[in-house]
Amino acid sequence: MKKLETKGITYSIDGKIIIDGIDISVKEGEFVGIVGPNGCGKSTLLKNIYKVFTPDSGAAFIDGEDLSQLSNRKTAKKMSVMQQENIVDFDMTVYDMVMLGRFAYQKLFSGSSEEDREIVSEYIKEVGLSGYEKRHFLSLSGGEKQRTLLARALSQKTPVILLDEPTNHLDIGYQYQIMNILKRQSLTILCCVHDLNIAATYCDRLVLMKNKKIFDVGSPKEMLTRENIRALFDIDTMIIENEKTGRVNIIFMPEL
């Protein structure tokens, strides 16, 4: 069953096409990664889905409903987002930052409910930040900030989550920690991924993008071939299969 779908999304800026006729679908409970070189339109596609941008043509759907026709509050109950860049100019505690994920469920001037508080505490614990509730967000390390923002997205309790390179700028330990947390949620996930080995390890399917269009779609083993990686990134690789996981691993072979 298709949980999330885009049909023919095209988006341009000042007459320049940024993404062109994008059709993708994500089944319920599936973890789909979007992979491609810088400038291919990955982040722009996500922004068209979560309504930061309005497509020139085409639309995005959850459970068959056109997202452009839904209110922001209703959308926030169906889909949560963790953006690549989260610039926070004002300070608040970790607890209050995560509580922002419950906004769509709160009535005007009513404040948080007992259920809201239980959910926030649950996801602070889930991301390994118990004891950090009163810490100020701006005082956190990069990995701690990312886990706080992930807890905020998860606290929305949506069936679908979009993530734009959630492991960007994190050291390898935090990268795998974030992905492990996501994987065990059993949500419908669409995620831009810049690390091909992370994509190979965690994603059920990959959408390859190049030159503003879909290049190919398939399983990580089908998509992460030497030929495809050279076509997308112009670098030679050696592809091996991990005997323990059955997943592919990519070894990059730069010309030295």
Q: Is residue 41 part of a domain?
A: yes
Q: Residue 78 corresponds to which tokens in the numbers above? A: 């169906």
Whole-model pTM: value is 0.93
User: Rounded mean pLDDT of the chain?
Assistant: 93
CA distances from 6 to 2, 127, 175 (A): 10, 30, 28
Q: Average of pLDDT values for 114-133?
A: 95
Q: Contact, 93 vs 144, CB < 8 A?
A: no
Residue at 152 is within a domain: no
* CATH code of the domain covering residue 39: 3.40.50.300
In a domain, 24, yes or no: yes
Higher-pLDDT residue of 91 and 234 is 234
Domain that holds residue 12: 2-89+157-252
As a whole number of angstroms, the distance between CA 12 and CA 143 comes to 34
* Residue 139 forms part of a structural domain: no
Sole residue written with tokens 């949506």 = 158
Give the Cβ contact number of residue 189 at 10 Å: 23
Tell me the chain's radius of gyration from C-alpha atoms.
19
Share of the chain above pLDDT 70, in %: 97
- What pLDDT shows up at residue 87? 66
The domain tally of the chain equals 1
Q: Read off the amino acid at residue 239.
A: I
Q: H or E stretch including 124?
A: helix 114-126
Q: Does residue 45 belong to any structural domain of this protein?
A: yes
Any domain includes 206:
yes
pLDDT at 9: 98
Residue 50 confidence (pLDDT) above 70 = yes
* 36, pLDDT greater than 80: yes
DSSP label of 249: E
Q: How far apart are CA 207 and CA 182, in angstroms?
A: 18
Report d(CA 161, CA 155) in Å as an integer. 11
* 187 part of a folded domain: yes
Give 158-173 pLDDT, tens digit per residue. Answer: 999 999 999 887 889 8
Q: Is residue 96 part of a domain?
A: no
DSSP helix/strand/coil, 86: coil
CB atoms < 10 A from the CB of 129, how many?
Answer: 20
